[in-house]
Amino acid sequence: MAAPPNSITSVAALGLIGAAAGRGLSPLPLFATVGLDPSQGPNPDLHIPALRYLQLWDRVVRELRDPSFAARTGLAFELEALEGFGFLAMSCANLAQAYERTKAYRALYNVGASWELDRLSPETARMRWEPWLLLDAPEIGRRCANEYAVAEMLTSVRKLIGEPEFVPARICFRHPARQDMAALRSIFGRSPEFEAEFDGFEVSPPLLERPLAFSNPALRAYFERQCTEALQGFDGDAGTTAKVRRLIVAGMNGQLPTMAAVARTLGMSARSLHRSLEAEGTKFNAIVDDVRREFAQRYLARKSLNLGEVSYLVGFSDNSAFFKAFKRWTGKKPGEYRAALGVSAA
């Protein structure tokens, strides 16, 4: 089954519905919100659109009227719920390896959002959540999903290292504060920083090398094979457009692949690739344009990148060409878009 762009495993939605039902909400309308059949069991391979997932968060939090619900639910997350993907992380030697090994398979969990690991200095490593860029997503749903993601990763780290009370050096969110800080301090073990430069948390780099509580090389090899087979199933079912998009996204670091290079990777000629994309109603340049727009918006939300760096990362050698393209995509200049996000220019 192919994972659509900007999606998440249905298991994540089921977990949220279960938590909301435990607080007294009727589950049937929540299943309808995300388009899931309540009679079917959990299926990690089934993905739902990220927009529906964010709409589910919006509905649940509005009905519960509990601003700390997202963080509390995230800390109750169980890594085992992700089956092969979760067990692969648990069987790795350390956190750094868990990140690197699961990175290749994160499409099994979600597509369009990601966790990034930044080693900023000998004293600081940052685990950074980059959410979906969906401009039509409800703001409350977007914020709550981000808070849940950070809490979910924190509880996963605690489980992996065998320290249930571990507290990061910083816990940060890009959005403004809207909750009772005393409740959040109790949940996280420290007060989060809001309107920060990233979503996620910072730790000491030696933590990344600490042996994990469940490390097992034999099991790691087994679950890696399992994840590889599952991912191949996703790729095998995906159309040419999805495969091309995935390869372009992988090169969105200033080294955009050419159409000829993408065709070679897919075992096709450039002409065959062109025809295949046309049959699906698109063109190679249109996919590149869409991915550039998405990543430009993502990068502009990061205070640490100046406009020239954003231009380079999305494949422009000329800043003026980037500014012109961004105005065409959004109707705003890059600086105007960044200001509207409340992000200070670097």
CATH code, domain with 288: 1.10.10.60
Query: In the block, which residue shows the tokens 């909301």?
Result: 20
In a domain, 195, yes or no: yes
What is the domain count for the chain?
A: 2
189 and 92 inside one domain = yes
pLDDT mean by block of 10 residues, the chain; 346 residues: 71 91 93 87 79 95 91 88 83 91 82 88 93 84 94 93 93 85 88 92 94 88 83 63 79 77 88 90 90 83 81 87 92 87 59
Contact present, 274 and 292 (Cβ < 8 Å): no
Question: So what's the pLDDT on residue 219?
Answer: 86
Whether residue 224 lies inside any domain: the answer is: no
End-to-end Cα, the chain, rounded Å: 42
Q: What is the largest CA-CA distance in the chain?
A: 61
Alpha carbon 70 to its chain's center: 16
Q: Does residue 167 share a domain with residue 74?
A: yes
Tell whether 168 and 254 lie within a shared domain.
Answer: no
Asked if residue 324 and residue 248 are part of one domain, the reply reads: yes
Fill in the amino acid letter for 200.
Answer: G
pLDDT digits (tens, 9 = 90+) for 174-213: 888 876 788 888 889 999 999 998 999 999 999 999 999 8
The answer to whether residue 25 sits within a structural domain is no
Q: Final residue of a domain: which of 194, 209, 224? A: 209
Say whether both 157 and 88 belong to one domain.
yes
Question: Is residue 43 included in any domain, yes or no?
Answer: no
Tell whether 293 is covered by a domain. yes
**What does the pLDDT read at residue 82?**
76
Contact in structure between 154 and 75 (CB atoms under 8 Å)? yes
CA distance 127 to 199: 8
φ, ψ dihedrals at 93, nearest 5°: -75, -40
Output the pLDDT for position 1: 46
Strand partners, 220: none
Same domain, 193 and 243: no
Q: What pLDDT sits at residue 83? A: 75
Beta strands in the chain (DSSP E): 7-9, 47-49, 110-111, 114-121, 124-130, 170-172, 199-203
pLDDT for 155: 93
116 within some domain:
yes
- Rounded CA-CA distance 277/165 in Å is 51
CA 245-311-252 angle, 5° bins: 25
**Among 96, 132, 176, CA closest to 4:** 132
Q: Are residues 248 and 182 in the same domain?
A: no
- Residue 63 near residue 141, CB atoms below 8 Å: no
Residue 289 lies in domain: 239-340
Q: How far apart are CA 308 and CA 327, in angstroms?
A: 15
Same domain, 112 and 191: yes
- Is residue 223 in some structural domain? no
Residues 192 and 263 reside in one and the same domain: no
The per-residue pLDDT for range 202-240, each reduced to its tens digit, is: 999 999 999 998 888 888 888 888 888 777 666 544 578
- Is 111 part of a structural domain of the chain? yes
Q: What was the pLDDT predicted at 314?
A: 87
Domain boundary among 209, 228, 249: 209
CB atoms within 10 A of CB 56: 26
Pairing state between β 110-111 and 170-172: unpaired
The pLDDT of residue 204: 95
Q: Tell me, what's the pLDDT at 235? A: 54
Task: Judge if 189 and 87 occupy the same domain.
Answer: yes
Taking the C-alpha atoms of residue 332 and residue 335, their distance in angstroms, rounded to an integer, is: 8
State whether 194 and 261 are in the same domain: no
Same domain, residue pair 249 and 141: no
